[in-house]
């Protein structure tokens, strides 16, 4: 609802500015795909196994509403084979059948980036820093960047076996939910927020000792790069992230201003292998997604990035026949001003109220006298000063009150 929706749009436009300044191009993936596209994300993730909104369409195709964007971006890459490096950004809704609660919804928005075709650790640094700088830019100061490496696929498999063995040993102390998770994906047990699981998790082996030399070197370069450009981070060896396809670098941005159950405002990582699974050539990838709904909750909690007030320059009040309001609003809008007007021949009092409600900076009044004389009375709604001028001088006068504007000319 307005005015929240205006803030939402501003959020996306600040994000677009930030990433387009780094060479990322907008991509608009479809809302739904053939379900197999998302199933490639892995059968050990809740997003795929439990939370997808799927249906069979009239052509007997099995379709799912997108639970995230990465799979669609990789599908598009595999299908269209653009030149690499391919740097894209997106914004839009995702759908997950989750237990809805504050900060966790069944339809929620994300903005994010993906880069395909580059292995360089300095790209990880660029991507992670872009997310970090965006949070800084909208004014958030209580965001922490958590960083980890999941190693290459062999490292990850050896680590998962070690974890499985460890949790099996301590099975009796785990919650029923954690026992079930253990069957499907021992890594996800590390995510359990249950107090009873915490002490077992605290003693679990960590990934660091399973990393290959290459993965260790890559992670070292990422840490050094972030340090070199002054992006603070905390290495968290328990950070595993939800989707199966993550390799090497994983990261999450958490907000201390939110309650700990839903405090992740964004996250991402490197996913080498997903494009290949979707029928493309072997292609390294990395990206992140930031939760718009939840980041705005963090903004509320930190009292930053507030809703801006209305941007109406002039509200035209024509109490004669509305025709002067029609011609003046048309010409002022073409001259670049933001203009609204009253309708239905309402009384002066009622239209004045509407001008106030719209947050207009000026009211332009056309009463019987002004109508007769081809003039208008411009009232500055902040100072209550008013002046009567020729209608032909209105644009020049408005510019002195609200500042000059760039004309919007119809394209020829
Ligand atoms: P994910 O794709 O699960 O890594 O999520 C990335 C970000 O999206 C998270 O850090 C959250 O900020 C946000 N997010 C994920 N799921 C939800 C949801 N159900 N409702 C609101 N925000 C979400």
pLDDT tens for 185-200 read 888 888 787 888 888 9
Q: CB-hemisphere CA count at 13 Å for 50?
A: 8
Q: How much of the chain exceeds pLDDT 90, in percent?
A: 79
* Best of 102, 108, 253, 296 for a ligand 1 pocket test (most atoms within 8 Å of beta carbon): 108
Q: Does residue 370 have its Cβ closer than 6 Å to ligand 1?
A: no
Q: Does residue 265 have its Cβ closer than 6 Å to ligand 1?
A: yes
Nearest to residue 15, comparing CAs of 108, 109, 144? 109
Distance from the alpha carbon of residue 223 to the mean position of ligand 1, in angstroms: 25
Atom of ligand 1 nearest to the CA of 289: 6
Atom of ligand 1 nearest to the CA of 295: 12
Separation of alpha carbons 212 and 156, rounded Å: 10
Task: Identify the helix (H) or strand (E) that includes residue 90.
Answer: strand 86-95
Summarised one tens digit per residue, pLDDT across range 237-259 is 888 776 667 889 999 999 999 98
CB of 283 within 8 A of CB of 84? yes
Instruction: Characterize 312-337 residue by residue with b for buried, 16 or more Cβ atoms within 10 angstroms of its Cβ, and e for exposed.
Output: bbbbbbbbeebebbeebbeebbebbb
Residue bearing the CA closest to ligand 1, atom 13: 291
Nearest to residue 194, comparing CAs of 177, 215, 171? 177
* Best of 47, 140, 289, 296 for a ligand 1 pocket test (most atoms within 8 Å of beta carbon): 289
Strand order across the beta sheet in which 247-255 lies: 25-26, 86-95, 107-116, 285-291, 264-270, 247-255, 143-149, 234-235
Atom of ligand 1 nearest to the CA of 265: 12
Average pLDDT value for residue range 353-382:
96
Separation of alpha carbons 404 and 57, rounded Å: 53
315 — pLDDT class (breaks 50, 70, 90): very high
Nearest to residue 97, comparing CAs of 62, 65, 63? 65
**Cβ contacts of residue 110 below 8 Å, gap of 6+?**
68, 69, 90, 91, 92, 94, 289, 290, 291, 292
Identify which has the larger pLDDT, 152 or 363.
363
Output phi, psi for 382, to 5 deg: -80, -40
Kindly state the DSSP code that residue 409 receives in the 8-state scheme: P
Atom of ligand 1 nearest to the CA of 241: 4
Q: Does residue 97 have its Cβ closer than 6 Å to ligand 1?
A: no
Q: Does residue 108 have its Cβ closer than 6 Å to ligand 1?
A: yes
Summarised one tens digit per residue, pLDDT across range 54-89 is 999 999 999 999 999 999 999 999 999 999 999 999
* Best of 11, 41, 110, 191 for a ligand 1 pocket test (most atoms within 8 Å of beta carbon): 110
**Tokens matching residue 33:** 């795909």
Separation of alpha carbons 405 and 255, rounded Å: 39
Atom of ligand 1 nearest to the CA of 266: 10
Distance from the alpha carbon of residue 18 to the mean position of ligand 1, in angstroms: 21
Q: Please count the other Cβ atoms lying within 10 Å of the Cβ belonging to residue 263.
A: 20
Average pLDDT value for residue range 44-49:
77
Residue 275 has pLDDT above 70, yes or no: yes
Superfamily of domain 314-402 in CATH is Anticodon-binding domain (3.40.50.800)
Distance from the alpha carbon of residue 266 to the mean position of ligand 1, in angstroms: 7
Summarised one tens digit per residue, pLDDT across range 297-314 is 999 999 999 987 668 999
Burial (CB count within 10 angstroms: exposed 0-12, middle 13-18, buried 19+), residue 191: middle
CA dihedral 353, 355, 358, 362 (to 10 degrees): -140
Q: How much of the chain exceeds pLDDT 70, in percent?
A: 98
Separation of alpha carbons 27 and 18, rounded Å: 15
412 — pLDDT class (breaks 50, 70, 90): low
Residue 47 has pLDDT above 70, yes or no: yes
Average pLDDT value for residue range 26-32:
97
Distance from the alpha carbon of residue 338 to the mean position of ligand 1, in angstroms: 36
What pTM, to 2 d.p., does this model score?
Answer: 0.91
Strand order across the beta sheet in which 362-366 lies: 339-341, 314-318, 362-366, 375-380, 386-390
The pLDDT value recorded for residue 40 is: 85
The pLDDT value recorded for residue 154 is: 87
Separation of alpha carbons 172 and 202, rounded Å: 16
Distances (CA, A) of 337 to 105, 226, 360: 38, 44, 11
Q: Does residue 98 have its Cβ closer than 6 Å to ligand 1?
A: yes
Cis peptide before 3 (omega within 30 of 0): yes
**Tokens matching residue 123:** 């790209």
Q: Does residue 166 have its Cβ closer than 6 Å to ligand 1?
A: no
Nearest to residue 156, comparing CAs of 80, 211, 83, 101? 211
Residue bearing the CA closest to ligand 1, atom 3: 242
Identify which has the larger pLDDT, 243 or 122.
122
**Tokens matching residue 280:** 């493309």
Separation of alpha carbons 288 and 250, rounded Å: 9
Atom of ligand 1 nearest to the CA of 268: 4
Correct CATH for 4-152+212-302 of 2.60.40.10, 3.40.50.300, 3.30.70.940, 3.30.930.10:
3.30.930.10
Residue bearing the CA closest to ligand 1, atom 15: 291
The pLDDT mean for the chain works out to 93
Residue bearing the CA closest to ligand 1, atom 16: 104
Distance from the alpha carbon of residue 70 to the mean position of ligand 1, in angstroms: 13
The pLDDT value recorded for residue 243 is: 67
Q: Does residue 266 have its Cβ closer than 6 Å to ligand 1?
A: yes
Q: Does residue 54 have its Cβ closer than 6 Å to ligand 1?
A: no
What residues does each domain of the chain span?
4-152+212-302, 314-402
32: three-class secondary structure by DSSP: strand
Q: Does residue 51 have its Cβ closer than 6 Å to ligand 1?
A: no
């Amino acid at each position: 609802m307005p005015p929240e929706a205006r803030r939402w749009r501003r959020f996306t436009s600040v994000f677009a500015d930030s990433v387009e300044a780094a060479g990322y191009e907008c991509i608009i993936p479809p809302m739904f795909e053939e379900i197999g596209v998302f199933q490639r994300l892995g059968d050990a993730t809740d997003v795929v196994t439990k939370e997808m909104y799927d249906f069979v369409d009239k052509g007997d195709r099995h379709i799912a509403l997108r639970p995230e964007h990465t799979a669609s971006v990789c599908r598009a890459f595999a299908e269209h084979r653009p030149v690499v490096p391919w740097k894209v950004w997106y914004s839009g809704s995702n759908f997950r059948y989750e237990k809805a609660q504050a900060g966790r919804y069944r339809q929620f928005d994300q903005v994010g980036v993906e880069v395909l075709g580059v292995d360089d650790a300095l790209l990880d640094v660029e991507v992670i820093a872009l997310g970090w700088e965006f949070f800084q830019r909208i004014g958030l100061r209580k965001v922490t960047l958590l960083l980890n490496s999941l190693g290459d696929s062999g490292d990850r498999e050896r680590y998962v076996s070690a974890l499985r063995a460890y949790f099996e040993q301590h099975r009796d102390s785990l919650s029923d939910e954690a026992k079930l998770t253990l069957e499907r994906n021992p890594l996800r047990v590390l995510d359990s927020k249950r107090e009873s699981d915490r002490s077992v998790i605290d003693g679990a082996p960590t990934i660091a000792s399973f990393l290959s030399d290459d993965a260790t070197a890559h992670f070292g370069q990422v840490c050094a790069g972030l340090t070199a450009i002054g992006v603070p981070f905390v290495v968290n060896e328990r950070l595993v992230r939800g989707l199966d396809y993550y390799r090497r670098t994983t990261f999450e941005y958490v907000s201390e201003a939110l309650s700990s159950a839903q405090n992740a405002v964004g996250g991402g990582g490197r996913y080498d292998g997903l494009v290949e699974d979707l029928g493309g050539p072997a292609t390294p990838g990395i990206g992140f997604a930031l939760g718009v709904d939840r980041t705005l909750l963090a903004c509320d909690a930190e009292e930053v990035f507030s809703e801006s007030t209305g941007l109406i320059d002039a509200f035209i009040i024509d109490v004669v026949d509305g025709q002067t309001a029609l011609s003046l609003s048309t010409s002022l809008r073409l001259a670049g001003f933001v203009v609204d007007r009253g309708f239905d021949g309402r009384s002066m009092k009622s239209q004045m109220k509407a001008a106030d409600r719209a947050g207009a900076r000026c009211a332009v009044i056309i009463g019987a006298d002004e109508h007769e004389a081809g003039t208008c009375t411009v009232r500055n709604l902040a100072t209550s000063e008013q002046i009567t001028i020729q209608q032909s001088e209105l644009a020049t006068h408005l510019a002195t009150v609200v500042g000059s504007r760039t004309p919007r000319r119809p394209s020829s």
